[in-house]
Amino acid sequence: MTDLSLEITRHIPYPPERVFDAWLDPKMLVKFMIPGAGVTVPDASVNATVGGRFSIIMRVPEAGDLPHEGEYRIIDRAKRLQFTWESPASTAEESIVTLDLTPKDGGTDLRLHHIRFPSEESRDNHNGGWSAILAKLDEVLG
């Protein structure tokens, strides 16, 4: 278990309810859970309840289909979403992502905090991936 973590903040010019709901909508997840060039998401499923699970298949050109799954820990609409993150690149037990949303200037200040990475390389790769995902979220909400 490691204490490595990352935090990314981004202002998204859409209301918190709209930003939050996108994270629980499989039709939206396939559009914005794109961590890098050439990656597609052929399938996503969501059981949007505390204790429910999600599954996102990321198709990476050089690696094939990579499953990303997790369990919802906190669902506080338009304020906070927390879930475990189980991915091939994040093998630490209890890797957790927390999204905090704050209304600001007619949009949303989003803070993504991801904890417990197995290595600095994994953390750095996720930093790039989450940054790309948040940029894509902003784009697809437009």
Digit-coded pLDDT (tens) for 102-139: 999 999 999 999 999 988 999 999 999 999 999 999 99
Task: Please state the length of the chain.
Answer: 142
Sign of CA dihedral 18, 109, 79, 1: positive
Domain containing residue 99: CATH number = 3.30.530.20
Contacts of 84 (CB under 8 A, 6+ apart): 70, 71, 73, 94, 95, 96, 97
Question: Residue 60: which domain range?
Answer: 5-141
pLDDT at 114: 97
pLDDT at 1: 47
Q: What is the pLDDT of residues 8-38, one digit of tens each?
A: 999 999 999 999 999 999 999 999 999 999 9
Q: How far apart are CA 54 and CA 100, in angstroms?
A: 19
pLDDT at 88: 79
Q: Please state, for a pLDDT cut of 70, what percent of the chain lies above it.
A: 96
Band (40; pLDDT cuts 50, 70, 90): very high
- b or e along 61-96 (b: 16 or more beta carbons within 10 Å of the residue's beta carbon)? eeeeeeebebbbeebeebeebbbbbbbebbebeebb
Alpha carbon distance, N-terminus to C-terminus of the chain: 39
Q: Which amino acid is at 73?
A: R
**Which helix (H) or strand (E) element contains residue 67?**
strand 64-76
Question: What total of structural domains would you count in the chain?
Answer: 1
Q: What is the pLDDT of residues 83-102, one digit of tens each?
A: 999 987 766 678 999 999 99
**Which helix (H) or strand (E) element contains residue 133?**
helix 120-141
